[in-house]
Structure 1
Amino acid sequence: MPPTLVNVAVGILLGVALLGAAFDRHSIAIVAAVAGIPDLDAVISLVVPGATNAALHTLFIPAIAAALLYYDTEHRADSWLRRRYGWYGVRVAWVAIAAYAVAGIGLDLFNIESAAALYPVSDRYYSIVGRFILSTQEGVIQTYIEVADGWLKVASPGTTETHHVNTWINPTPGTGNPAGVERNIRIVDSGWQFVLVVTAVAAVPAKYLIERGDV
Protein backbone atom coordinates (compact mmCIF):
# COMPACT_ATOMS: atom_id res chain seq x y z
CA MET A 1 0.00 0.00 0.00
CA PRO A 2 1.21 3.57 -0.50
CA PRO A 3 2.90 5.13 2.55
CA THR A 4 0.59 7.08 4.85
CA LEU A 5 2.40 10.28 3.89
CA VAL A 6 1.15 9.80 0.32
CA ASN A 7 -2.43 9.30 1.53
CA VAL A 8 -2.15 12.52 3.52
CA ALA A 9 -0.71 14.35 0.50
CA VAL A 10 -3.66 13.35 -1.66
CA GLY A 11 -6.00 14.42 1.15
CA ILE A 12 -4.33 17.83 1.23
CA LEU A 13 -4.72 18.23 -2.53
CA LEU A 14 -8.41 17.32 -2.25
CA GLY A 15 -8.77 19.88 0.51
CA VAL A 16 -7.09 22.59 -1.55
CA ALA A 17 -9.40 21.78 -4.46
CA LEU A 18 -12.70 21.33 -2.62
CA LEU A 19 -12.73 23.37 0.59
CA GLY A 20 -13.30 26.66 -1.19
CA ALA A 21 -14.14 29.46 1.23
CA ALA A 22 -13.78 27.02 4.13
CA PHE A 23 -10.04 26.66 3.47
CA ASP A 24 -7.89 27.57 6.46
CA ARG A 25 -5.31 25.98 8.75
CA HIS A 26 -7.90 24.10 10.78
CA SER A 27 -9.89 22.69 7.87
CA ILE A 28 -6.87 21.55 5.87
CA ALA A 29 -5.44 19.92 9.01
CA ILE A 30 -8.70 18.04 9.58
CA VAL A 31 -8.88 16.81 5.99
CA ALA A 32 -5.20 15.75 6.01
CA ALA A 33 -5.63 13.86 9.29
CA VAL A 34 -8.77 12.08 8.10
CA ALA A 35 -6.94 10.91 4.95
CA GLY A 36 -4.43 9.10 7.15
CA ILE A 37 -6.91 7.53 9.58
CA PRO A 38 -7.58 4.32 7.58
CA ASP A 39 -3.95 3.24 7.98
CA LEU A 40 -4.51 3.06 11.74
CA ASP A 41 -6.13 -0.33 11.23
CA ALA A 42 -2.53 -1.63 11.30
CA VAL A 43 -2.71 -0.97 15.05
CA ILE A 44 -5.98 -2.88 15.27
CA SER A 45 -4.24 -5.84 13.59
CA LEU A 46 -2.19 -6.30 16.76
CA VAL A 47 -5.44 -7.46 18.37
CA VAL A 48 -7.63 -8.54 15.46
CA PRO A 49 -5.92 -10.84 12.92
CA GLY A 50 -6.07 -9.53 9.35
CA ALA A 51 -7.36 -6.07 10.29
CA THR A 52 -4.72 -4.20 8.27
CA ASN A 53 -6.28 -2.57 5.19
CA ALA A 54 -9.60 -4.00 6.32
CA ALA A 55 -11.05 -2.71 9.59
CA LEU A 56 -10.80 0.99 8.66
CA HIS A 57 -10.52 0.51 4.89
CA THR A 58 -14.11 -0.60 4.49
CA LEU A 59 -16.22 1.61 2.24
CA PHE A 60 -19.06 1.25 4.72
CA ILE A 61 -17.41 3.87 6.97
CA PRO A 62 -17.53 6.81 4.51
CA ALA A 63 -20.87 5.57 3.14
CA ILE A 64 -22.49 5.59 6.58
CA ALA A 65 -20.85 8.92 7.44
CA ALA A 66 -22.16 10.45 4.20
CA ALA A 67 -25.66 9.12 4.85
CA LEU A 68 -25.72 10.53 8.38
CA LEU A 69 -24.34 13.87 7.23
CA TYR A 70 -26.89 14.10 4.42
CA TYR A 71 -29.73 13.27 6.79
CA ASP A 72 -28.57 15.79 9.38
CA THR A 73 -28.05 18.65 6.95
CA GLU A 74 -30.83 18.03 4.43
CA HIS A 75 -33.69 16.33 6.24
CA ARG A 76 -33.57 17.52 9.84
CA ALA A 77 -35.39 20.76 10.56
CA ASP A 78 -32.60 21.75 12.93
CA SER A 79 -29.26 20.40 11.72
CA TRP A 80 -26.89 19.75 14.62
CA LEU A 81 -23.79 20.30 12.53
CA ARG A 82 -25.05 23.46 10.85
CA ARG A 83 -26.27 24.88 14.16
CA ARG A 84 -22.90 24.22 15.82
CA TYR A 85 -20.45 25.00 13.02
CA GLY A 86 -22.50 26.65 10.29
CA TRP A 87 -21.84 26.25 6.57
CA TYR A 88 -18.14 25.94 7.36
CA GLY A 89 -18.60 22.74 9.32
CA VAL A 90 -20.82 21.19 6.66
CA ARG A 91 -18.30 21.93 3.90
CA VAL A 92 -15.38 20.57 5.90
CA ALA A 93 -17.33 17.44 6.83
CA TRP A 94 -18.13 16.61 3.20
CA VAL A 95 -14.55 17.17 2.08
CA ALA A 96 -13.26 15.07 5.00
CA ILE A 97 -15.51 12.17 3.94
CA ALA A 98 -14.22 12.51 0.37
CA ALA A 99 -10.63 12.46 1.66
CA TYR A 100 -11.31 9.35 3.72
CA ALA A 101 -12.83 7.51 0.76
CA VAL A 102 -10.51 8.67 -2.03
CA ALA A 103 -7.16 9.32 -0.32
CA GLY A 104 -7.51 6.96 2.62
CA ILE A 105 -9.16 3.95 0.97
CA GLY A 106 -8.94 4.52 -2.78
CA LEU A 107 -5.15 4.65 -3.00
CA ASP A 108 -4.88 1.29 -1.25
CA LEU A 109 -7.74 -0.28 -3.19
CA PHE A 110 -6.11 0.69 -6.49
CA ASN A 111 -2.86 -0.92 -5.42
CA ILE A 112 -1.36 -4.38 -5.65
CA GLU A 113 -1.42 -4.83 -1.86
CA SER A 114 -5.19 -4.32 -1.91
CA ALA A 115 -7.91 -3.40 0.59
CA ALA A 116 -10.85 -5.31 2.03
CA ALA A 117 -13.31 -2.67 0.88
CA LEU A 118 -16.43 -4.61 1.92
CA TYR A 119 -15.23 -5.66 5.37
CA PRO A 120 -16.83 -7.05 7.55
CA VAL A 121 -19.53 -8.23 5.12
CA SER A 122 -16.73 -9.79 3.07
CA ASP A 123 -13.23 -10.52 4.33
CA ARG A 124 -11.78 -10.63 0.80
CA TYR A 125 -9.12 -8.17 -0.27
CA TYR A 126 -9.61 -6.46 -3.62
CA SER A 127 -6.85 -5.02 -5.78
CA ILE A 128 -7.92 -2.91 -8.76
CA VAL A 129 -4.75 -2.79 -10.82
CA GLY A 130 -4.16 -2.82 -14.55
CA ARG A 131 -3.80 -0.44 -17.45
CA PHE A 132 -5.90 1.73 -19.74
CA ILE A 133 -4.62 2.09 -23.30
CA LEU A 134 -5.93 3.52 -26.57
CA SER A 135 -4.35 1.44 -29.31
CA THR A 136 -4.41 2.30 -33.02
CA GLN A 137 -4.79 -1.40 -33.80
CA GLU A 138 -6.70 -2.89 -30.85
CA GLY A 139 -8.77 0.09 -29.81
CA VAL A 140 -9.54 0.57 -26.11
CA ILE A 141 -7.68 -1.77 -23.78
CA GLN A 142 -8.42 -1.80 -20.07
CA THR A 143 -7.46 -4.52 -17.62
CA TYR A 144 -8.65 -3.04 -14.32
CA ILE A 145 -12.00 -4.81 -14.33
CA GLU A 146 -12.81 -7.89 -16.40
CA VAL A 147 -16.07 -9.62 -17.16
CA ALA A 148 -16.12 -13.34 -16.40
CA ASP A 149 -19.27 -15.50 -16.60
CA GLY A 150 -21.41 -12.40 -16.67
CA TRP A 151 -19.82 -10.96 -13.50
CA LEU A 152 -17.42 -8.08 -13.02
CA LYS A 153 -14.12 -9.45 -11.79
CA VAL A 154 -11.23 -7.71 -10.03
CA ALA A 155 -7.98 -9.16 -8.74
CA SER A 156 -7.87 -10.50 -5.19
CA PRO A 157 -4.75 -11.67 -3.35
CA GLY A 158 -6.83 -13.50 -0.73
CA THR A 159 -8.78 -12.90 2.44
CA THR A 160 -7.97 -11.52 5.87
CA GLU A 161 -7.07 -15.08 6.88
CA THR A 162 -4.73 -15.83 3.99
CA HIS A 163 -3.27 -12.46 2.96
CA HIS A 164 -1.08 -10.30 5.18
CA VAL A 165 -0.38 -6.63 4.49
CA ASN A 166 3.05 -5.83 5.87
CA THR A 167 3.41 -2.66 7.96
CA TRP A 168 6.09 -1.43 10.35
CA ILE A 169 3.58 -1.75 13.19
CA ASN A 170 2.78 -5.38 12.43
CA PRO A 171 5.23 -6.79 9.86
CA THR A 172 4.32 -10.46 10.39
CA PRO A 173 1.02 -12.35 10.02
CA GLY A 174 -1.08 -12.78 13.14
CA THR A 175 -1.01 -10.78 16.33
CA GLY A 176 2.20 -12.14 17.83
CA ASN A 177 4.32 -9.18 16.67
CA PRO A 178 7.63 -10.87 17.61
CA ALA A 179 10.65 -8.83 18.63
CA GLY A 180 13.70 -8.65 16.39
CA VAL A 181 11.73 -8.61 13.12
CA GLU A 182 12.89 -6.04 10.57
CA ARG A 183 10.57 -3.03 10.41
CA ASN A 184 10.60 -0.50 7.60
CA ILE A 185 8.88 2.85 7.97
CA ARG A 186 8.05 3.77 4.39
CA ILE A 187 8.16 7.48 3.61
CA VAL A 188 7.89 7.40 -0.19
CA ASP A 189 8.34 4.39 -2.47
CA SER A 190 8.74 5.98 -5.89
CA GLY A 191 9.39 9.15 -7.81
CA TRP A 192 5.74 9.88 -8.53
CA GLN A 193 4.94 9.63 -4.83
CA PHE A 194 7.72 12.08 -4.02
CA VAL A 195 6.38 14.52 -6.62
CA LEU A 196 2.88 14.14 -5.14
CA VAL A 197 4.10 14.92 -1.61
CA VAL A 198 6.10 17.96 -2.77
CA THR A 199 3.09 19.20 -4.75
CA ALA A 200 0.87 18.93 -1.69
CA VAL A 201 3.41 20.81 0.43
CA ALA A 202 3.61 23.58 -2.16
CA ALA A 203 -0.15 23.71 -2.75
CA VAL A 204 -1.06 24.88 0.76
CA PRO A 205 0.97 28.14 0.82
CA ALA A 206 0.07 28.73 -2.82
CA LYS A 207 -3.62 28.49 -1.90
CA TYR A 208 -3.11 31.02 0.91
CA LEU A 209 -1.43 33.46 -1.45
CA ILE A 210 -4.21 33.07 -4.00
CA GLU A 211 -6.90 33.59 -1.35
CA ARG A 212 -5.14 36.77 -0.18
CA GLY A 213 -4.85 38.01 -3.74
CA ASP A 214 -1.05 38.17 -3.64
CA VAL A 215 -0.72 36.20 -6.87
Structure 2
Amino acid sequence: MPPTLVTVAVGVLLGVALLGAAFDRKSMAVVVAAAALPDLDALLSLWIHGATNAALHTLFVPLAAGAVLYYDTSREESWLRSRYGWYGVRIAWVAVAVYAVAGIGLDLFNIQSAAVLYPVSNRYFAIVGKLVLSTQEGVVQTYVEFGDGWLVAATQGTTESRHMASWVNPTPGTSNPPGVDRQVHLVDSGWQLVVVAAAAAILPARALVERRGR
Protein backbone atom coordinates (compact mmCIF):
# COMPACT_ATOMS: atom_id res chain seq x y z
CA MET A 1 0.00 0.00 0.00
CA PRO A 2 1.25 3.56 -0.63
CA PRO A 3 3.10 4.97 2.39
CA THR A 4 1.17 7.35 4.63
CA LEU A 5 3.53 10.17 3.64
CA VAL A 6 2.42 9.79 0.02
CA THR A 7 -1.24 9.64 1.04
CA VAL A 8 -0.83 12.85 3.03
CA ALA A 9 0.94 14.48 0.08
CA VAL A 10 -1.99 13.71 -2.22
CA GLY A 11 -4.33 15.04 0.45
CA VAL A 12 -2.33 18.27 0.59
CA LEU A 13 -2.58 18.70 -3.18
CA LEU A 14 -6.34 18.13 -3.04
CA GLY A 15 -6.71 20.50 -0.12
CA VAL A 16 -4.83 23.31 -1.85
CA ALA A 17 -7.02 22.80 -4.93
CA LEU A 18 -10.37 22.57 -3.16
CA LEU A 19 -10.21 24.76 -0.06
CA GLY A 20 -10.27 28.05 -1.93
CA ALA A 21 -10.72 30.99 0.43
CA ALA A 22 -10.78 28.58 3.39
CA PHE A 23 -7.08 27.78 2.95
CA ASP A 24 -5.03 28.37 6.09
CA ARG A 25 -3.01 26.41 8.63
CA LYS A 26 -6.05 25.12 10.51
CA SER A 27 -7.86 23.91 7.41
CA MET A 28 -4.73 22.20 6.08
CA ALA A 29 -4.24 20.50 9.44
CA VAL A 30 -7.75 19.05 9.12
CA VAL A 31 -7.02 17.93 5.55
CA VAL A 32 -3.77 16.23 6.55
CA ALA A 33 -5.55 14.44 9.41
CA ALA A 34 -8.32 13.28 7.07
CA ALA A 35 -5.78 11.87 4.61
CA ALA A 36 -3.79 10.03 7.28
CA LEU A 37 -6.75 8.74 9.32
CA PRO A 38 -7.54 5.61 7.24
CA ASP A 39 -4.02 4.25 7.77
CA LEU A 40 -4.65 4.18 11.51
CA ASP A 41 -6.54 0.93 11.02
CA ALA A 42 -3.07 -0.65 11.15
CA LEU A 43 -3.19 0.12 14.88
CA LEU A 44 -6.57 -1.59 15.14
CA SER A 45 -5.02 -4.75 13.69
CA LEU A 46 -3.27 -5.23 17.04
CA TRP A 47 -6.69 -6.07 18.47
CA ILE A 48 -8.85 -6.86 15.43
CA HIS A 49 -7.56 -9.53 13.07
CA GLY A 50 -7.28 -8.24 9.51
CA ALA A 51 -8.20 -4.64 10.30
CA THR A 52 -5.39 -3.12 8.19
CA ASN A 53 -6.72 -1.56 4.97
CA ALA A 54 -10.20 -2.60 6.06
CA ALA A 55 -11.62 -1.10 9.25
CA LEU A 56 -11.04 2.55 8.26
CA HIS A 57 -10.67 1.95 4.51
CA THR A 58 -14.32 1.05 4.11
CA LEU A 59 -16.32 3.38 1.88
CA PHE A 60 -19.07 3.39 4.48
CA VAL A 61 -17.05 5.89 6.54
CA PRO A 62 -16.98 8.75 3.97
CA LEU A 63 -20.49 7.86 2.77
CA ALA A 64 -21.85 8.12 6.31
CA ALA A 65 -19.90 11.32 6.97
CA GLY A 66 -21.13 12.82 3.70
CA ALA A 67 -24.74 11.87 4.47
CA VAL A 68 -24.59 13.46 7.94
CA LEU A 69 -22.89 16.55 6.54
CA TYR A 70 -25.45 16.92 3.75
CA TYR A 71 -28.34 16.51 6.19
CA ASP A 72 -26.95 19.10 8.57
CA THR A 73 -25.96 21.71 5.99
CA SER A 74 -29.24 21.41 4.08
CA ARG A 75 -31.21 22.57 7.13
CA GLU A 76 -31.87 26.22 7.88
CA GLU A 77 -30.59 25.71 11.43
CA SER A 78 -27.39 23.91 10.49
CA TRP A 79 -25.24 23.17 13.54
CA LEU A 80 -22.00 23.29 11.55
CA ARG A 81 -22.86 26.49 9.70
CA SER A 82 -24.08 28.29 12.81
CA ARG A 83 -20.91 27.34 14.69
CA TYR A 84 -18.21 27.72 12.01
CA GLY A 85 -19.95 29.42 9.09
CA TRP A 86 -19.12 28.78 5.44
CA TYR A 87 -15.51 28.21 6.48
CA GLY A 88 -16.37 25.13 8.51
CA VAL A 89 -18.70 23.75 5.86
CA ARG A 90 -16.06 24.03 3.14
CA ILE A 91 -13.42 22.35 5.29
CA ALA A 92 -15.78 19.53 6.24
CA TRP A 93 -16.65 18.72 2.63
CA VAL A 94 -13.01 18.87 1.55
CA ALA A 95 -12.02 16.59 4.44
CA VAL A 96 -14.60 14.00 3.36
CA ALA A 97 -13.33 14.17 -0.23
CA VAL A 98 -9.71 13.83 0.87
CA TYR A 99 -10.56 10.88 3.12
CA ALA A 100 -12.23 9.07 0.21
CA VAL A 101 -9.83 9.96 -2.61
CA ALA A 102 -6.43 10.10 -0.91
CA GLY A 103 -7.06 7.95 2.16
CA ILE A 104 -9.00 5.14 0.48
CA GLY A 105 -8.58 5.65 -3.26
CA LEU A 106 -4.80 5.28 -3.37
CA ASP A 107 -5.08 1.84 -1.78
CA LEU A 108 -8.08 0.76 -3.85
CA PHE A 109 -6.34 1.69 -7.12
CA ASN A 110 -3.28 -0.32 -6.13
CA ILE A 111 -2.33 -3.97 -6.22
CA GLN A 112 -2.12 -3.95 -2.42
CA SER A 113 -5.92 -3.39 -2.37
CA ALA A 114 -8.44 -2.33 0.26
CA ALA A 115 -11.51 -3.95 1.81
CA VAL A 116 -13.81 -1.09 0.81
CA LEU A 117 -17.02 -2.95 1.75
CA TYR A 118 -15.89 -3.93 5.24
CA PRO A 119 -17.61 -5.16 7.44
CA VAL A 120 -20.33 -6.21 4.96
CA SER A 121 -17.60 -8.01 3.02
CA ASN A 122 -14.10 -8.79 4.25
CA ARG A 123 -12.70 -9.21 0.72
CA TYR A 124 -9.88 -6.95 -0.49
CA PHE A 125 -10.49 -5.28 -3.85
CA ALA A 126 -7.98 -3.73 -6.24
CA ILE A 127 -8.68 -1.67 -9.35
CA VAL A 128 -5.61 -2.05 -11.51
CA GLY A 129 -5.08 -2.02 -15.26
CA LYS A 130 -4.00 0.14 -18.17
CA LEU A 131 -5.38 2.60 -20.74
CA VAL A 132 -3.72 2.43 -24.16
CA LEU A 133 -4.35 4.13 -27.51
CA SER A 134 -3.39 1.66 -30.22
CA THR A 135 -3.18 2.35 -33.97
CA GLN A 136 -4.50 -1.15 -34.63
CA GLU A 137 -6.79 -1.91 -31.68
CA GLY A 138 -7.99 1.60 -30.84
CA VAL A 139 -8.69 2.32 -27.19
CA VAL A 140 -7.64 -0.54 -24.95
CA GLN A 141 -8.44 -0.42 -21.24
CA THR A 142 -8.36 -3.13 -18.61
CA TYR A 143 -9.63 -1.20 -15.60
CA VAL A 144 -13.28 -2.06 -16.15
CA GLU A 145 -14.11 -5.59 -17.23
CA PHE A 146 -17.33 -7.52 -17.27
CA GLY A 147 -17.86 -11.20 -16.66
CA ASP A 148 -21.25 -12.90 -16.99
CA GLY A 149 -22.82 -9.48 -17.32
CA TRP A 150 -21.32 -8.17 -14.07
CA LEU A 151 -18.52 -5.75 -13.28
CA VAL A 152 -15.38 -7.70 -12.42
CA ALA A 153 -12.91 -6.38 -9.84
CA ALA A 154 -9.59 -7.98 -8.96
CA THR A 155 -9.55 -9.49 -5.50
CA GLN A 156 -6.56 -10.11 -3.28
CA GLY A 157 -8.01 -12.45 -0.70
CA THR A 158 -9.86 -11.57 2.49
CA THR A 159 -9.03 -10.19 5.91
CA GLU A 160 -8.98 -13.78 7.14
CA SER A 161 -6.61 -15.17 4.52
CA ARG A 162 -4.28 -12.24 3.88
CA HIS A 163 -2.13 -10.16 6.20
CA MET A 164 -1.40 -6.53 5.28
CA ALA A 165 2.00 -5.94 6.86
CA SER A 166 2.78 -2.57 8.46
CA TRP A 167 5.44 -1.26 10.79
CA VAL A 168 2.87 -1.39 13.60
CA ASN A 169 1.95 -5.02 13.01
CA PRO A 170 4.37 -6.65 10.53
CA THR A 171 3.43 -10.27 11.32
CA PRO A 172 0.11 -12.08 10.83
CA GLY A 173 -2.32 -12.16 13.71
CA THR A 174 -2.49 -9.89 16.71
CA SER A 175 0.37 -11.29 18.80
CA ASN A 176 2.87 -8.70 17.50
CA PRO A 177 5.98 -10.53 18.76
CA PRO A 178 8.92 -8.41 20.01
CA GLY A 179 12.17 -8.32 18.06
CA VAL A 180 10.51 -8.60 14.64
CA ASP A 181 11.87 -6.41 11.83
CA ARG A 182 9.83 -3.23 11.40
CA GLN A 183 10.14 -1.00 8.36
CA VAL A 184 8.61 2.44 8.03
CA HIS A 185 8.21 3.12 4.30
CA LEU A 186 8.34 6.80 3.38
CA VAL A 187 8.38 6.51 -0.42
CA ASP A 188 8.54 3.34 -2.52
CA SER A 189 9.02 4.70 -6.03
CA GLY A 190 10.04 7.69 -8.10
CA TRP A 191 6.51 8.89 -8.80
CA GLN A 192 5.75 8.87 -5.08
CA LEU A 193 8.79 11.04 -4.42
CA VAL A 194 7.57 13.48 -7.08
CA VAL A 195 4.15 13.70 -5.39
CA VAL A 196 5.70 14.31 -1.97
CA ALA A 197 8.04 16.96 -3.37
CA ALA A 198 5.15 18.67 -5.18
CA ALA A 199 3.10 18.79 -1.98
CA ALA A 200 6.05 20.16 -0.02
CA ALA A 201 6.55 22.90 -2.60
CA ILE A 202 2.92 23.88 -3.12
CA LEU A 203 2.17 24.67 0.52
CA PRO A 204 4.65 27.56 0.93
CA ALA A 205 3.81 28.73 -2.60
CA ARG A 206 0.10 28.91 -1.79
CA ALA A 207 0.82 30.59 1.56
CA LEU A 208 2.94 33.22 -0.22
CA VAL A 209 0.14 33.90 -2.69
CA GLU A 210 -2.31 34.31 0.17
CA ARG A 211 -0.06 36.82 1.95
CA ARG A 212 0.50 38.88 -1.19
CA GLY A 213 -3.22 38.84 -1.93
CA ARG A 214 -3.92 40.50 1.38
TM range (shorter): over 0.9
In the other structure, the counterpart of 1:172 is 171
What residue in structure 2 maps to residue 102 of structure 1?
101
Per-residue CA deviations over 1:77-133 (Å, capped at 9, x if unaligned) read 200000110000000000000000000000001111100001011110001111111
RMSD of equivalent CA atoms: 0.9
- 1:58-207 correspondence runs (5 A): 58-74=58-74, 76-207=75-206
SS at match of 1:213: helix
Q: Quick one: percent identity of the two aligned structures? A: 69
AA in 2 matched with 1:111: N
Cα drift, residue 212 of structure 1: 2.9
Alignment of 1:14 onto 2:14: yes
> Matched residues in 1 for 2:117 and 2:150: separation?
17
Within 2, Cα distance between the matches of 1:17 and 1:162?
39
Letter in 1 for 2:190: G
TM-score w.r.t. length of structure 1: 0.97
Shift of 1:39: 0.2
- Gaps (5+ residues) in structure 2? none
Q: Which amino acid aligns with 2:150?
A: W
Q: CA deviation at 1:140?
A: 1.1
Residues of 2 paired with 1:164 and 1:212: CA distance?
47
Aligned residues: 213
Unaligned runs of 5+ in 1: none
- Which shows bigger deviation, 144-153 or 54-63? 144-153
Find the counterpart in structure 1 of residue 42 from structure 2: 42
Q: Deviations over 1:53-99 (max 9, x none)?
A: 0000000000010010000001x220000011000000000000000
Could you give the per-residue CA deviations for residues 19-63 of structure 1, whole angstroms, max 9, x where no partner exists? 000000110111011100000000000000000000000000000
After TM superposition, the score normalised by the length of structure 2 is 0.97
